[in-house]
Chain A
């Protein structure tokens, strides 16, 4: 069996998220170097603050300033920082209970090595130079054995509060389409269309995905189909797609290649758009170096009889 195809695949998505009033006050506070918690009905102060009590689900809104100093409640030494993490040199992940808070905040601690870190150690916030209203406005924590800083009693009211964040995300993959689709793509590079036949119902799938969805069994017998086929149904596209250099209107069609058990889709060219019809016989048109047909054009054969393709619409 030929080697399966592989290609890098990068998935990137900047999520734009709106903030509730408590989250907005907390992240705006970080921008202004003020740390806010929220007080629950039973008097506990949650930092980082949330909109709803994690125990009672009660809506929360009583903001309380806490100190930028605190205590490590647990830690883990990270010898090899990964992309996106707060520091690029080895650091400790820490949960820190800030002075005045009853819960702990996750962040990084800049320390020379694991021997310099222990649960119970006092730390303080190191602020980022540029702050935008995000959790990364805290650059990291640092060891601190000085005086505990006193909160200034901030009320949580700010000029120009942040109302949303943009959370960028990027994940890197190596994509492999698996056995069946690798064979299909490899055949296309030789300008051949190869499907796979179901051993049970004998239907030929193009493109093949490795299984027959009717019988639930693997397809493996390769069958070359086409190159000619029949337009089984079509639509006329009147809206120009972004980044697509095709004049409108044009026709996009379902095309049942000869020998295939289902239709694939493609553009129809070489004929005025208003003359395309069901049953039209077509063949693929390849352009130089293309990895799939650019479009399909009429063969000039008589139209196919409806009964020959009525199951392939």
Chain B
């Protein structure tokens, strides 16, 4: 079941995010997280005790702090014990879990949050630890190197070239000038090759940040939000871990997830794509068949702010917030995980006719 049944509709009713910054060393994770938790609760008028289910996404490897998610739970008022879960994944997958929980009818509201502090470590190296431990991780291929292999494959296939990649980066950062939370916006030089063909400008900023979303079912959603962003479908798919087994110029997992989420049934007006590298937007636009009439990444996307573990949830939050504000009627949100777009989640959100 990947589309919402008509008798149990679930919506994003609130979204908040931190200002994303290169470092937040003065704050522990819970200190960084609490303001966004309070913001989504305040905007709905809910108290922590009113929340039916809480689900979070984070990774201890980023900051090197064991069990950091248990400490982050202090920020939601987890005592006496609440109904709660955690995924060692981007918060978009925590939202997926919360969506299924609400579908069962066990809860009518859910709080979803995620956070990542990349500043304490070297994120390029940290991400090598998610790779195949037998054949790949011992070579320490960093996240930029793997994205660069994908970018070169796209160039060889004639799908893009360096000027086109620069244009993707520039358009995202230009869009981010209206996003007060963005870490990087406006005119940013493309800079030197980090790993050729990717230049500094093709890569996401490294930073710290957090985000939170509240989901609600049916009439509860209408009570809490003037224009709920209804989740019409959501699905996620994964590809083989072997990079040499995959066609890096395509994303069949994104296409399948989009199909299952109903993305191709009607056109969307907005798409928030989680493409940390400019080259990945090329792959996603193709897989999702997005035309020029779709507003892609009005927030500036992950090239403007990429707090790892939160950047995917932020795509869903940004798409939903646009519906809340009446700027979109049907939006697609995408989140990714793993090297070279290995795993992909697609959600389709709609506002009711105005």
What is the bound-complex CA distance between A178 and B137, given in angstroms? Answer: 31
A176–B31 contact, CB under 8 A? no
Q: In the complex, which residues of chain A have a beta carbon less than 8 angstroms from the beta carbon of B31?
A: 178-180, 210-211, 218
From B190-198, B260-268, B314-322, the one touching the partner chain is: B190-198
Stretch at the interface among A82-90, A228-236, A302-310: A82-90
A48 touches B242 (CB 8 A): yes
Q: Tell me the nearest residue of chain A to B26, going by C-beta.
A: A4
Residues in B neighbouring A106, C-beta threshold 8 A: 135-136, 139, 141, 149, 243-244
Q: In the bound complex, do residue A213 and residue B79 qualify as a contact, i.e. CB atoms below 8 Å apart?
A: yes
B36 close to A (CB within 8 Å): no
Shortest Cβ distance from A93 into B: residue: B145
Residue of chain A at shortest CB distance from B124: A82
Instruction: State whether B244 touches A167 (Cβ < 8 A).
Output: no
CB distance B145 to A17 under 8 Å?
no
Chain A residues closer than 8 Å to B75, beta-carbon distance: 211, 216
With A75-B152, A76-B149, A95-B243: A179-B27 Cβ-Cβ less than 8 Å: yes
B166 at the interface (CB under 8 A from A): no
B28 within 8 A of A: yes
Q: CB distance A107 to B64 under 8 Å?
A: no
Partner of B129 from A17, A169, A177, A213 at Cβ < 8 Å:
A169
A23 touches B129 (CB 8 A): no
**Cross-chain contact B141 with A171 (CB below 8 angstroms):** no
A2 to B149 alpha-carbon distance, docked (Å): 45
Once bound together, how far apart are the Cα atoms of A74 and B27, in whole Å? 42
Q: How many A-B residue pairs have CB under 8 A?
A: 191
Instruction: Give Cα A23–Cα B121 distance, bound, in whole angstroms.
Output: 32
Decide if B140 touches A23 in the complex (CB within 8 Å): no
Q: Using a Cβ–Cβ cut-off of 8 Å, how many residues does chain B contribute to the interface with A?
A: 63
Q: List 5 A-B contacts (CB under 8 A).
A: A76-B145, A86-B139, A210-B74, A213-B79, A214-B79
| A181 interface hit (Cβ, 8 Å) | yes
* Dominant secondary structure at the A interface: mixed
Find chain A residues with CB under 8 A from B125 CB. 82-84, 171
A173 on interface, CB distance cutoff 8 Å: yes
Residue of A nearest to B134 (CB): A23
- A47 to B, closest residue via Cβ: B244
Complex interface: chain A residues within 8 A of B28 (CB): 176-181, 209-210
Assess whether A213 is in contact with B63, with CB atoms less than 8 Å apart.
no
> Which residues of chain B come closer than 8 Å to A19, judged between CB atoms?
134
State the CA gap A77–B38 with chains docked (Å).
46
Measured CB to CB, the nearest residue on chain B to A96 is B244
Query: Roughly how many angstroms separate A143 CA and B152 CA in the complex, as a whole number?
Result: 19
Q: Nearest Cβ in chain A — how far from B157, in angstroms?
A: 10
Interface string of A45-61 (1 = CB under 8 A from B): 01110100011000000
Q: Is A212 located at the chain interface by the 8 A CB criterion?
A: yes
CA distance A277 to B243 in the complex (A): 62
B122 at interface, CB cutoff 8 A: yes
B271 within 8 A of A: no
Q: Is the CB of A176 within 8 A of B120?
A: yes
Nearest neighbor of A26 in chain B, beta-carbon distance: B135
A119 within 8 A of partner (CB): yes
Contact A216 B134 (CB under 8 A): no
Indicate with 1 or 0, residue by residue over B141-165, a CB within 8 angstroms of chain A CB atoms.
1100110111111001000000000
Instruction: State A179–B29 Cα separation when bound (angstroms).
Output: 11
Considering the complex, give the chain B residue whose CB is closest to the CB of A97. Answer: B244
User: In this assembly, does B25 line the interface, its C-beta being within 8 Å of a C-beta of chain A?
Assistant: yes
Please tell me which one of the listed residues A9, A76, A173, A209 contacts residue B148 in the complex, with CB atoms under 8 A apart: A76
Find chain A residues with CB under 8 A from B30 CB.
178, 209-211
Task: From known contacts A76-B195, A76-B197, infer whether A83 and B71 are also in contact, taking CB-CB under 8 Å.
Answer: no
Instruction: Tell me, rounded to whole Å, the shortest Cβ–Cβ distance linking B244 to chain A.
Output: 3
Chain B residues contacting A95 (CB-CB under 8 Å) are 149, 243-244
- Across-interface contacts of A136 in B (CB, < 8 A): 138-139
Q: Least Cβ distance of B50 to chain A in Å? A: 12
Contact of B156 among A74, A93, A114, A172 (CB under 8 A): A74
Tell me whether B245 and A135 are in contact (CB under 8 A): no
The answer to whether A74 and B152 touch across the interface, beta carbons within 8 angstroms, is yes
Minimum CB–CB distance for A71 against chain B, Å = 12
Q: A79-B193, A165-B134 are in contact. Are A174 and B248 (CB under 8 A)?
A: no
B26 touches A179 (CB 8 A): yes
Contact A216 to B77, CB < 8 A, known contacts A6-B25, A76-B145, A135-B134: yes
A67 contacts across to B, CB distance below 8 A: none
Contact at B152–A76, with CB atoms within 8 Å? yes
Residue of A nearest to B133 (CB): A167
Does B34 reach chain A (CB closer than 8 Å)? yes
A222 within 8 A of B: no
